[in-house]
Structure 1
Amino acid sequence: MEDFKEETEKTLEVLKKGGIILYPTDTVWGIGCDATNAAAVAKVYALKKRADKKALICLVNSIKMLEKHVDLVPEPAYLIIEHADKPTTIIYDNPLRVANNLVAEDETLAIRVTKDKFCEQLIYKFRKPIVSTSANISGQPTPQSFAQISPEILKGVDYVVNLHRSKVSGKPSSIIKIGNDRSVKVIRK
């Protein structure tokens, strides 16, 4: 396993101070912050020039952390998390203990249990979910590699994680909405 200790420590320092980070995720390069800090979440919206009515995704490192941040994890979600062959984000009803400006108008929140080793370690040590939104200005294409990230985004974050910069990223995650009534709707394949 790669040793991410130094980068994890530097990134944690920024997150704990309410800063925003640019980091590699299990999908694309993401802009992130403490998902429980409304001021930090507001900075992410401002950097992306994104209306705060458009919700963001957040990452957790385990089912246990997921269960702390939603009122109820519907049974189908466990199966999807366990069996998905690619990163899958699930939209849940009634999120708990996250910043109010992270929650969508319909009282839902998109959360992904990350399987990326750096993200897992970072979230484990931070002990809170972190925001994960593509590293672009709203309406612009999602960068497929670190080299495609705009100077505006690079200058707008408090810290750029120094890992996987040469790797071309994957695609954005699948997004599935699962209601507490067990209804399932695919939002993005």
Structure 2
Amino acid sequence: MDTKVYYVDEHSDEKIKEAAEVIKRGGLVVFPTETVYGLGANALDEEACRKIFKAKGRPQDNPLIVHVADFDISEYVENIQENAKKIMENFWPGPITIVVKKSSRIPMLVTANLDSVAIRMPSNKVARKLIEYAGVPIAAPSANISGRPSPTTIEHTIDDLMGKVDMIIGGDKCEFGLESTVVEVLDEKVTILRPGAVTKDMLEEIGLNVDIDPAILTKPDENLKPKSPGMKYRHYAPKAEMTIITGRIERTVDYINMKIDEMKSKGKLVGVLATDETKDLYRGGYIISVGSRKKLGLIAANLFDTLREFDKIDVDYIYAEGFEEDGLGLAIMNRMKKAASYNVINL
């Protein structure tokens, strides 16, 4: 398949309209959002959405997120409960997805045969124009090969999906760099299924009682039927085996330095996912700082790009410093644990 690539911004109306025509006729378009790049198809067209699973190599029991450009989602959901409305009013457009009862307009393929649908309104202006011009909601997971680190630049999507999709549009690096927060809102109960930039504290600040799904905190059971993307399968993974080291940072640095020496003696190259505070404390290996521990937003934005950089260098092993699992740190560690297949050493 020939893939057209356009570098665009919110003013590139003609190219965005061309991409919208691809969506209308059942094709696949990669497009930017504020979280990560998405691989989109007409959410109301089951055969178009089937192409998403094929292009990504995505398991069909992993539901897709439906992206909209308008607050009126009554055509796609059975009913909108008060807590869902409150989330929409406070955080849409933005990096949060609500899981609510679906209407018959949404194909079962999109929801992985669940009676609920994951739906969100992106704040990225290119994404919203694409949806508006297409005139249909767009189903879109992250625009990467399934299991690989999610794409936060157009170059990442080109590396993974060139020749597998009809068109790629984009330009800027994604603002948040982690997929959206996903919350299930059923029977007035709010449960975080996937952490993201909209945190538990932020949801509680608007008067919601919020639970966290156990699958976020521990390795999910292999028989889990995922209610949300990112719940079950190994995700975000670099090519090299990755281990996360948690505990006091001084002990973490000492442990990783020991592993660097050990692997070097075997002719192996270690990649170290470090921070600004520690990057100069390592005595070898390939060191990448994801940012300062004082700026978790920057660490989130850099995480997937860093994992892909280790792939380019072709390191043999990756050791990563861990983070506190609260606020945005919960989302960062959620992605890191999945990337590391839950290989965590707590010192």
Match of 2:292 in 1: none
Q: Does 1:56 align with 2:64?
A: yes
Return the match for 1:119 from 94, 108, 127.
127
| 8 Å CA contact 2:35, 2:174 repeated in 1 | no
Kept after mapping to 1: 8 A contact 2:33/2:174: no
Kept in 2, the 8 Å contact 1:95–1:103? The answer is no
What SS is found at the alignment partner of 1:142? coil
User: How far, CA to CA, are the matches of 1:110 and 1:185 in structure 2?
Assistant: 13
In 1, the alpha carbon distance for the partners of 2:76 and 2:70 equals 11
Mapping of 1:26-175 within 5 angstroms?
26-64=34-72, 66-84=73-91, 86-149=94-157, 151-161=159-169, 163=170, 165-170=171-176, 171-175=178-182
Q: Quote the offset at 1:178 in angstroms.
A: 0.6
The 5-angstrom pairing of residues 169-184 of structure 1 reads: 169-170=175-176, 171-179=178-186, 181-184=187-190
Alpha-carbon deviation of 1:166?
4.1
Q: Give ranges in structure 2 of 5+ residues lacking alignment.
A: 1-8, 196-347
The one of the two structures with greater contact order (alpha-carbon pairs below 8 A, sep at least 6) is 1
Question: Structure 1 residue runs of 4+, over 4 Å off?
Answer: none
User: Could you tell me how far 1:56 is from its partner in structure 2?
Assistant: 0.6
Distance in structure 2 (CA, Å) of the matches to 1:124 and 1:144: 23
Q: Look up the equivalent residue of 2:84 and give its one-letter code.
A: A
Inter-CA distance 25–124: structure 2 relative to 1 (3 Å threshold): same
Instruction: Give the Å deviation of 1:168.
Output: 4.2
Pair 1:106–1:131, CA change in 2 (3 A): closer
Q: 1:14 Cα deviation (Å)?
A: 0.7
Once residues 46 and 78 of structure 1 are traced to their aligned partners in structure 2, the CA distance between those partners, rounded to angstroms, is 34
- Cα 1:12–1:166 shift into 2, 3 Å: closer
| TM-score scaled by length of structure 2 | 0.50
What is the DSSP-based 3-state SS (H/G/I as helix, E as strand, rest coil) of the residue aligned with 2:182? strand
- The structural deviation recorded for 1:138 is 1.5
Instruction: List gaps (5 residues or longer) in structure 1.
Output: none
Normalised TM-score (structure 1): 0.89
Of the two, which has the highest radius of gyration? 2
Query: Match of 1:8, as an amino acid?
Result: I
Distance 2:29 2:21 in 1: 11
Q: Residue 6 and residue 186 in structure 1: after superposition, are their counterparts in 2 closer, same or farther (change >3 A)?
A: same
Distance apart, 1:116 and its partner CA: 2.0
Spell out, residue by residue over 1:80-130, the C-alpha distance to the aligned partner (whole angstroms, 9 max, x if none).
122128510011113331233102333111100222222222222222100
- Secondary structure, aligned partner of 2:31: strand
